[in-house]
Structure 1
């Protein structure tokens, strides 16, 4: 049973068991835009949705229960990723979303790769989640050894409305590559890209995702993989254009068969909400996100969950305003002064 179905089933069970309570309090749904299957946003979104949920009639904030918001059912929605998520939040078609910090900055200010578009000015910051890494994957038996070898190749660069596409285009442009002229772009997510590489229908898949990502875990175990390093000069060209990026590594322990750490670029994944959400709701969402119960869910649920820590809660905000509810919780917790 999927996480979403299990949450909905819990809500339905509560309604059946407690018809009087159900009629008095129908569940309120809280939609979180995440990402596509095979990435990190979707499974982490499922864990956080579970942590925030407490359907009508279910125990809340007690031993053995979540620290969720009474009467609320949070749902992790599969999406194309960051670009779609900020658009969903802006339009009110999702209450919250995961996004790369470069995407939130450019969308909010109408600058960079969002130049000429209306500002996505209803975004409000709740929390930094985890660092994401550029993954440039090829088959282990591929002759491609560096980004320079990608000229003339077929490359999956992420879905159209994803932050992965933006990250892929940034690194390829650092090498002077342009889609249609220097390579053939395929707008696929990492699961679709690795599947095509497995069948030798693609030469490489580039994306921005937190390791370990399920699609690459499966691909490396089944087919064998390598990740292309990003040297210092090219990394600095990307950082000059997009200062939200920093230098990092994909450790050799992240995926089966890697023999050395891979130098690459990193960017923050953040949680944003719409400005119209009530302050008390976002206060309690922030409280639930950083509770000890949620800490256990994150630690047990996904390797990347262990990197979602209070010490980094304010990283990656940039110019995005705090939601007042989140800001109040951080001040009361002594994290924001």
Structure 2
């Protein structure tokens, strides 16, 4: 009987030690993991799926297979997540407030936020915003129902038009486009709908047109094209000349034929999409994230993910940047010979 109790006591002690060891291992595991959020926009745009691909590429949680054996080539211990939001304006505010580790933004919104100009006129400049990389061009989509008869920007007069949420990147650009063509918000019936909601409203004849700044193909527009009679409206003409002179972040570009099912392409204007963070985010972390972003293994993920992934290249990583690079990103680009 004594031996039985002794054995039982020993087993209990062994179990206790095992639990302590497991607890310690779990604590160590928890300590090894750090989280890094990427603010995007609505799930129907390009930011969200592309950020998901990039988050996957830069993540490398404990227990992952090593890069050399076909496993993760991300930052050891990092778990990155794409987080939906209202878009660029919402993201820069979230980055500065600390609610987001990083986020995607249009180049114009990034510059306005940093300098306290444009849509941020009268606000405290967000001087701690920093760039990780330029990503790809984003096109101003102006979508109208065929039934509306809208064939140009000036045809929007008197129509019901969604300009997106006021804290999106689309909203300030839509206002600039209207102004370039001699229109103001007073000339239209304004709706402030997120892209997915705007697409649904257009499908149900509750709006005549919508603006959406996104890399093509944007899922919300692709799905709308499959269920409604819609057209892409060109943003072209002499009015655009003045717009480009006044706002150098815009470039002429086009949405090609077939970017959306059975839709003819149009000339339009574009801005750059950029990945931003905050100056006080650890320099070594951003260095490692930047290195992981441009790892050849990430190239494979980008090329098979969202169609816009192919446009995200190291060759264009520094294009159109009007605010400072994060020191960690700058260190990587200098080592890579991309900055001299």
The one of 272, 295, 302 equivalent to 2:299 is 295
Question: TM-score scaled to structure 1, two decimals?
Answer: 0.91
Q: Distance in 1 between matches of 2:261 and 2:191?
A: 26
Instruction: Decide which of 35, 49, 58 is 2:55's aligned counterpart.
Output: 49
Aligned to 1:328: 331
Please state if 1:138 is matched with 2:140.
no
Distance 1:93 1:30 in 2: 11
Structure ID, larger Rg: 2
SS in 1 for 2:274: strand
Aligned to 2:269: 265
- Determine if contact 1:61/1:67 at 8 Å carries over to the other structure: yes
Q: Per-residue deviation at 1:239? A: 1.6
Match of residue 123, structure 1, among 118, 123, 129: 129
* Aligned positions of 1:14-163 closer than 5 A: 20-26=24-30, 27-163=33-169
Distance 2:326 2:159 in 1: 44
Equivalent position SS for 2:70: coil
Alignment equivalent of 1:250, drawn from 255, 264, 267: 255
Whole-angstrom distance in 2 between the partners of 1:61 and 1:122: 33
Higher mean C-alpha deviation, range 210-219 or range 105-114: 105-114
8 Å CA contact retained: 1:126, 1:272 = yes
Shift of 1:39: 0.5
- Cα distance in 2 for partners of 1:235, 1:175 equals 8
Query: Secondary structure in 1 aligned to 2:288?
Result: helix
CA contact (8 A) 1:224 1:257 kept: no
- Aligned partners of 1:172 and 1:140: how far apart in 2? 20
Counterparts of 1:194 and 1:208, CA distance in 2: 13
Q: How does the TM-score come out when normalised to structure 2?
A: 0.90
| Counterparts of 1:55 and 1:136, CA distance in 2 | 41
Q: For the aligned residues, what is the CA RMSD?
A: 1.3
